[in-house]
Amino acid sequence: MKPHYNVLVVGGGTGGIMTAAQLRRKDKKLSIAIVEPNTSHFYQPAWTLVGAGAFKFADTKRDEKKLIPPGVDWIKDYVTSFDPESDKVTTKSNGNISYDTMIVSAGIQMDIDAMPGLREALKTDKVCSNYIDPEKTFRILKEFKGGNAVFTQPATPIRCGGAPQKIMYLAEEFFEKSGVREKTNVVFATPGTVIFGTKVFADELNRILKKKRVNFKPFYKPISIDSAKQEITFQYVKPETKRTGADLDQTVNEKLTGDNLVTMHYDMLHLAPPQSAPEFIKQSPFAHQEGPNKGWMNVDIHTLQHPHFKNVFGLGDSAALPTAKTGAAIRKQAPIVVENVMRILQSLPLSEKVYEGYSSCPIVTGYGKMLLCEFKYDNVRDSDPILSKLVDTTKERWSMWVLKKYGLPWLYWNMMMKGRM
């Protein structure tokens, strides 16, 4: 470890390692360090498949030290505070480190206690989350004997917004194979207004929901869980709409338990927990102080530069960007950050290349089927022009399943993590 670096990278996840690796490929003379306390690195996009028994959890894990790019220092420590006025950070064990430029890719945290009853519910054998323990999800699927299988997600931003519905599609097919589907109500409840934001993909997903007989419930915001009663309560958030007893879904035994509060029994429950930026980001001078992005890192949505501290850039899940928080998004963000960091170090204007909000959500719709949803800011479709000529990516495809299970993990470990794409 040195006291000063040309580039200090905070976070050794996807964004941190990608940017460090790409910078080293551009200029091996740069002094670069990654501050990251964790010793294990996970390919979390495969956790959906782990939760359905289609991928080994052990194959999603690598040693962090093996992924740190050659020539980059790994500072195995926590950042405790930032001092951008003095171009330095303070770490828990190694004191102060100064920098010429800094890249913040601090990821996202599971905010378990933001939903009353969730922490207790996760200790039971009826409630699971691929975001926390995908192997438990598969155990619960195998033990499920019928009833209400409820899948939901919070109103907070979450990592990979499509993941809560992916496991629902796989579970529905698993129940079919295990012989319990006919005595099962599959429910997908979301605070959102639609199943997917980009219409062409939503059309296909709505067709799949109908085919699979999924009870789709938009405007359902989960607010609490009573694990003793096996009940989850939702706030119905459709504007200017009041739920009454006559509106309730008797198929799943809904109850009105308050003003626009709907309670539902579950025999199994899978959910994405509420999520937020890490505490040290929330408390930093880089975070939005007010408004809907409060606590998330403030960056220009096209250049990824902080608006006040011009030698600081942010990318990945902790950045306040109006697009999905995915590894695919980071793959498009990293080259912009790398180019702009190089220019700052050379006292040049920022690059004319900008990030347009690209993200991709590979939505697994069953065993052997996947829909590749690619889009950019404002939910505009942004499918790869070459791939789209070969495959209709607006439909679920076996070829996309092969990409998800085999192609994308290989690309991640061998290309993205080595700064080659």
Over the stretch 172-206, which tens digit does the pLDDT of each residue have?
A: 999 999 999 999 999 999 999 999 999 999 999 99
- Helices 14-26 and 327-345 pack at an angle, to 10 degrees, of 40
Length reported for the chain:
421
* ∠ CA 374-102-108, rounded to 5°: 50
> DSSP letters of 204-270?
HHHHHHHHTT-EEETTEEEEEEETTTTEEEEEE--TT----GGGS-GGGT-EEEETTEEEEE-SEEE
57 beta partners: none
Residues 6+ apart with CB under 8 A from 160: 44, 45, 324, 325, 326, 361
Provide the annotated active-site residues.
Answer: 160, 361
| Two tokens, residue 382 | 């942004």
Quick check: 5 and 33 in contact, CB under 8 A?
Answer: yes
For the chain, list residues with pLDDT below 70: none
CA 140 to CA 51: how far, in whole Å? 9
Q: Quick one: pLDDT at residue 389?
A: 79
Q: Quick one: pLDDT at residue 158?
A: 97
Give me the residue label for tokens 């220009």.
300
Q: Hey, what amino acid is at 76?
A: K
Q: Quick one: pLDDT at residue 226?
A: 98
Walk me through the domains of the chain, giving residue ranges and CATH numbers: 4-108+277-358 (3.50.50.60), 112-274 (3.50.50.60)
Ramachandran assignment for 256, one of left (phi > 0), alpha (psi -120 to 50 degrees), beta (any other): beta
Question: Number of C-alpha atoms within 13 angstroms, CB side, residue 298?
Answer: 18
DSSP 179: T
| Sign of the dihedral through C-alpha 201, 202, 206, 212 | positive
How much is the pTM? 0.95
